[in-house]
């Protein structure tokens, strides 16, 4: 059965589906809406995204979308490994600015649920890493935002040094949390 693990950030979950294996390989039910709903996670996913990163050290994030296109995300790795981070960016939240990270990998077969109101980002820990994630709303360029990965007020302890990272121009230009357009 699927294991659901909570942490210090309300709503951010690690989900570990069961794998059934034998000498042929394995089978796993990676998503079951009823199982999640029975655990109190009632989400309607409408889009799947797949990202491939050729190099170790590719950092994507910290991304989010503003309402009315805010997204919950269910992230999993099908090849390789990532250090995955969720940051509470709801100004009214007692957890505002706090972050939680886990390693997600094809070997661990775990997933990360990032709720609306959280920025999300990851760095690849292995070459040729593939990440698949479900979202509860469609991509909207007008509502797409980012926050700097190295904002000292957030203080994410990335497992790789800045000289090992590769970021997009968009992510390098991202504002700090204090200057970002975020949730109330």
Which is catalytic among the residues 50, 63, 139, 149? 63
Three-state SS sequence of 83-125: EEEEEECECCCCCCCCEEEEEEECCCCCEEEECCCEEEEEEEC
User: Mind listing the pLDDT tens digit for each residue in 107-156?
Assistant: 999 999 999 999 999 999 999 999 999 999 999 999 999 999 999 999 99
Q: Which residues contact 42 (CB under 8 A, 6 or more apart)?
A: 36
Q: CA 53, CA 41: separation in Å to the nearest integer? A: 29
Q: CA 127, CA 43: separation in Å to the nearest integer? A: 32
pTM for the complete prediction?
Answer: 0.95
Q: CA 140, CA 128: separation in Å to the nearest integer? A: 27
Which is catalytic among the residues 52, 133, 139, 143? 133
Q: Is the dihedral of CA 160, 157, 43, 41 positive or negative?
A: positive
Task: State yes or no: pLDDT of 66 exceeds 90.
Answer: yes
Task: State yes or no: pLDDT of 1 exceeds 90.
Answer: no
Pick the CATH number of 46-173 from 3.40.50.300, 3.20.20.140, 2.60.120.10, 2.60.40.1120: 2.60.120.10
Active site residue 63: yes
């Amino acid at each position: 059965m699927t294991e659901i693990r909570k942490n210090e950030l309300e709503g951010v979950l690690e989900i570990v589906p069961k794998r059934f294996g034998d000498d042929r390989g394995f089978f796993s039910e990676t998503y079951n809406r009823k199982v999640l709903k029975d655990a109190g996670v009632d989400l309607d996913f409408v889009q799947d995204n797949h990202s491939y990163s050729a190099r170790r050290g590719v950092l994507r994030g910290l991304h989010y979308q503003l309402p009315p296109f805010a997204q919950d995300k269910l992230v999993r790795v099908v090849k390789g490994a990532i250090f995955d981070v969720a940051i509470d960016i709801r100004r009214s939240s007692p957890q505002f600015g706090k972050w939680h990270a886990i390693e997600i990998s094809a070997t661990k077969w775990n997933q990360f649920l990032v709720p609306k109101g959280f920025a999300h980002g990851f760095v690849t820990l292995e070459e040729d890493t593939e990440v698949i994630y479900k979202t509860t709303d469609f991509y909207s360029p007008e509502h797409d935002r980012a926050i700097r990965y190295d904002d000292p007020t957030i203080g994410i302890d990335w497992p790789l040094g800045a000289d090992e990272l590769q970021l997009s121009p968009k992510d390098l230009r991202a504002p700090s949390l204090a200057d970002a357009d975020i949730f109330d």
